[in-house]
Structure 1
Amino acid sequence: MAEFKDQTLTGEVTLDGNVFINVNFKDAELNYSGGVPPRFDSCRFTNATFNLGGAAGSTVNFLRSMAPASTNMRFVVLGLLPELQG
């Protein structure tokens, strides 16, 4: 685990397991693969994109497959992520 503090990061940035404090992600490609979740504190995102690969990407795709109303499983997704409601 690495800690990044009080700096601007650009280009490709690996998120897994890292700590970001007062970081400006500028023109950055943020990559998360499903490892230890990163921690963000007082960060800014300027023209940053997020990419979810590996287990993280598979999990998001699984949740997306359950999210449409036609599946009758939307309540499962909302139950797992209650912050999406309202």
Structure 2
Amino acid sequence: MASNIETIVSDRVNVDGKTFTDVNFDGATLVYGGGTPPAFNNCRFNTASFTFEGAAGNTLAFLKAMAPAHTNMRGVVLGLIPELND
């Protein structure tokens, strides 16, 4: 039986609105710009990284600015994404 697993090596991959199934991301940079969230099914991430640009980058920068303890907003930010409290 032939393998249907695709490998993306050391590429910059725009992920907005895309579905990835059976993909190995090996050293790839996954770029999310704030559009429709991507879907990942049975994928593997080997030294892959995410970059957030455009609207997604602005949202991430906003959350980072609100997260430090001195802002008194840390609890609000962590409440938006409860998984970060683990």
Q: Structure 2 length as normaliser, TM-score?
A: 0.88
Aligned to 2:38: 38
Structure 2 residues without counterparts, runs of 5 or longer = none
- Aligned-partner Cα distance in 1 for 2:29–2:45: 10
**Which of the pair has more CA radius of gyration?**
2
Which amino acid counterpart does residue 83 of structure 2 have in structure 1? Answer: E
1:29-59 Cα deviation digits (max 9, x unpaired): 1111000000111211112121100000000
* Alignment length (residue pairs): 82
Fraction of identical pairs, as percent:
54
Structure 1 residues without counterparts, runs of 5 or longer = none
Give the RMSD, CA atoms, in angstroms.
1.2
Following TM superposition, where does structure 1 have runs of at least 4 consecutive aligned residues deviating by more than 6 angstroms? none
Structure whose residues are more often strand by fraction: 1
Aligned to 1:17: 17
Q: Structure 1 length as normaliser, TM-score?
A: 0.88
